[in-house]
Structure 1
Amino acid sequence: MAVGAVLGALVLSAGVALAQAPAFFRIGTGGTAGTYYPVGGLIANTISATGGGVPGLVATAVSSNGSVANISAVNGGSLESGFSQSDVAYWAYTGTGLFEGKGKIENLRAIATLYPETIHLVATKNSGIKSVADLKGKRVSLDEPGSGTLVDARIVLSAYGLTEKDVKAEYLKPGPAGDRLRDGALDAYFFVGGYPTGAISELATSSGITLVPIGGPEAEKMLADYQFFSKDTVPAGTYKDVPETQTISVNAQWVTSAKQSDDLVYNIVKALWSDNSRTVLDAGHAKGKLITVQNATKGIGIPLHPGAEKFYREKGVLQ
């Protein structure tokens, strides 16, 4: 009996340990100088058990190359989730656009739409660049391969009658691009992300910048051709000495795989929209106030994960 009792206790102990084993949930974000990374860190903290989120969950924000890389990692299983621009997620799911000929990523699912991502075209004050068309012959960074920014930069150039061959193209992350702009080694660079972004704010303060507008009939045609684009405006004073600037935007979305369990995703979404999370998002980043449950299902373009869909239906966000 004593031996049996000991064995029983060991089995019970092992069972409790197994039940309490942490679940790891990584969130692929972007470069550390962008908006994805700090927002991902806030969300990871609020959904983790230590932040009052899902019991037993350990969520972490992982720096990455951005939308395309995150979707590939989610599809391959090296990340449980990631942030993506709405356009890139749509192309991946449908096997069109950037993913033409690469097959559909049919397991891609949405957790939530987060906030608008503004297309910034940042130029030096003395570059003489007043419109996208003025980029011809200039030294321009389009962001690195694998980023959603590169995809959108190509679309914007094309709308104004330019290709990568018409500019002196470089392919840098926003941080290094900003450094080269400050040093006079670059005339302009594209960045897609929520405003204000810290790296551009610092650049505006230290060196002075121009935000180049993306507007006119060329922008109207882009809005007609690509439904994931929306009109956007960077308010005056968002960046030091930069006036109100017309541009366009896409949505930042949080995506995962259909292979993730319904219960896990349901509980993650529930934690994301808790009162505690609301407080952290509002106080933690300028874009946090725009991350709302009312906008969570807008402009998705791909199927919601069943766990997320269940929550949004219960909340009345989805009918």
Structure 2
Amino acid sequence: MKKKFYTMFASVMTFGMLLSACGEADDAEENGGTADEGEDTGEEVATDDEVRLQMGTGSTGGTYYPLGGEMANVINDNIEDYEDFDISAVSSGASVDNLSQIFQGEMDLGMTVHLPAVDSLTGAGDFEGVEVDNFGFMGHIYPEVMQIAAPADAGIETISDLEGKSVAIGPPGSGTQAAATLILEAHGLEEGDYTALEEGFGDAAGRIQDGSLDASFGLLGLPAGSLDELSVNTDIVLLSIEDDAMDYILENSGYAQFDIPADSYDQVELDGPVNAITAYAILVGSTDTIDEDLGYEITKALFENSESITHDQGQHLTKENAMNGSDGLPMHPGAERYFEEEGLLD
């Protein structure tokens, strides 16, 4: 079930060849019409003062995509030393996909769960056999909480009940998929014990509504807007991780235990706190295409102006939280300079 890095590598290379074949017009359409001239929109073009960067987010129905769009806007509006600067936030397969595209030079920045970022440094987990060494930590974004939704009338009360069911485990290369397969494994469910759909929570929510999907995993912010929207028209339950399964997960990963409060959602009635796991969403930047000065400007623009982000999870993007998820990761030189100035480093 686990998607290894060489699978992601092949996908990235195919993606790159398709972009070259389609040309600049298709590239602009794919990225919301924001791409400019140049074969690779992830690189600086024309002059030192004209910069075009791409930031990988996640699926359109998750937290990364809308939040990443606001983050890009904040940075674009507050860069000081570049006359013509633009970061385009683009939809992607999220964590592992973003890291692999940075590795291949297709992305300049990416949102990712901190755990696969740590794995990528040593060729572990989804990066088996390939060590990624061209990125640096640029700050904590928000805590991600695994939320497992199922229709209230489906008779699914536990994660073990997902045996034989259709389950959305997240896009290939996403932190959601890595965590989902671990959680299912901890409850005794292996590949083949359930029908896995590799798609984001947004698409999965539509399938739950029309009755073609039994459950969906989502490593999301809390509360998650997409789950709120789903619960307006569909009665759902959130599945809790069993205690013995939680022990297995904590022993075999870097996730932490997290209680989802019973009052987290207006439309979802919970009998009590839901036993879940959490990790950190972080921003990373390429050390190939983003030099120290540019990295400093990006980090400063984001953290000095994050209060203008309206997304619910923007409240966590603060200087006080900036170092969360940084353990075990290299710091981008520009971000390191900013964090040192702010007294955030030991």
The equivalent position to 2:315 in structure 1, one of 283, 289, 296, is 289
Pairing of 1:143-162 with structure 2 (within 5 A): 143-162=170-189
How do residues 13-52 of structure 1 correspond to structure 2 at under 5 angstroms? 21-48=49-76, 51-52=77-78
Unaligned regions of 5+ residues in structure 1, if any? 1-17
Moved over 6 A (4+): none
Instruction: Map 1:39-188 onto structure 2 (within 5 A).
Output: 39-48=67-76, 51-54=77-80, 55-56=82-83, 57-101=85-129, 103-188=130-215
Identity %: 35
3-state SS of 1:242 partner: coil
Task: Name the aligned partner's letter for residue 221 of structure 1.
Answer: Y
1:206 paired to 2:236: no
Of the three residues 261, 284, 292, the one matched with 1:262 is 292
Structure 2 alignment gaps of length 5 or more = 1-45
> For residue 248 of structure 1, what is the amino acid of its counterpart?
I
Matched-pair contact (CA < 8 Å) for 2:282–2:325: no
Specify the alignment match of 1:251 in structure 2.
Answer: 280
Q: Which residue of 1 aligns with 2:260?
A: 234
Deviation track 1:98-121 (CA, whole Å, cap 9, x = no partner) reads 1112x1001121111211111111
The structural deviation recorded for 1:174 is 1.7
Aligned partner letter, 2:92: S
Q: Which amino acid aligns with 2:283?
A: W
Give the TM-score normalised by structure 2.
Answer: 0.81
What CA deviation, in whole Å up to 9, does each residue of 1:149-180 have, x standing for no partner?
A: 11111111111111121112222222221111
- Asked if structure 2 preserves the Cα contact closer than 8 Å seen for 1:94 and 1:106, the reply is no
C-alpha distance after superposition, 1:178-225 (max 9, x if no partner): 111111111101111112222211111111111101241211231232
The answer to whether 1:299 aligns with 2:329 is: no
Q: Tell me which moved more, 238-247 or 122-131.
A: 238-247
More helix by share: 1
Q: Which moved more, 1:75-84 or 1:53-62?
A: 53-62
- Amino acid of the residue matched to residue 251 of structure 2? A
**In 1, Cα distance between the equivalents of 2:283 and 2:214?**
32
Post-superposition offset of 1:266:
0.7
Contact 2:307 2:314 (C-alpha < 8 Å) held by counterparts: no
Alpha-carbon RMSD across the aligned residues, in angstroms, is 1.8
Structure-2 change in CA distance of 1:298 and 1:279 (3 Å): closer
TM superposition shift of 1:61: 1.0
Contact 1:211–1:242 (CA<8 Å) still a contact in 2? no
Counterpart contact for 1:143–1:191, Cα < 8 Å: yes
SS in 1 for 2:192: helix
Q: Secondary structure at the match of 2:61?
A: coil
Which amino acid in 2 is paired with 1:163? E
Q: In structure 2, the residue corresponding to 1:190 is in which secondary structure? A: strand
* Distance in 2, Cα, partners of 1:39 & 1:126: 32
Tell me the amino acid that sits aligned with residue 222 of structure 1: I
Query: How far apart are the structure 1 equivalents of 2:227 and 2:113?
Result: 20
CA distance in 2, matches of 1:60, 1:268: 13
CA contact (8 A) 1:93 1:108 kept: no
Q: How many residues align?
A: 295
- Using the TM superposition, give the Cα deviation of residue 22 of structure 1 relative to its aligned residue in structure 2, in angstroms: 2.3
What whole-Å deviation, never above 9, does each CA across 1:234-287 have from its counterpart, x for those lacking one?
22333313323221111101111222200100111111111xx23212xx1111
Tell me the distance in 1 between the aligned counterparts of 2:64 and 2:147: 15
The Cα of 1:45 is off from its aligned counterpart by 1.0
Give the letter aligned to residue 273 of structure 1.
F
> Aligned to 1:116, what secondary structure does the other structure show?
strand
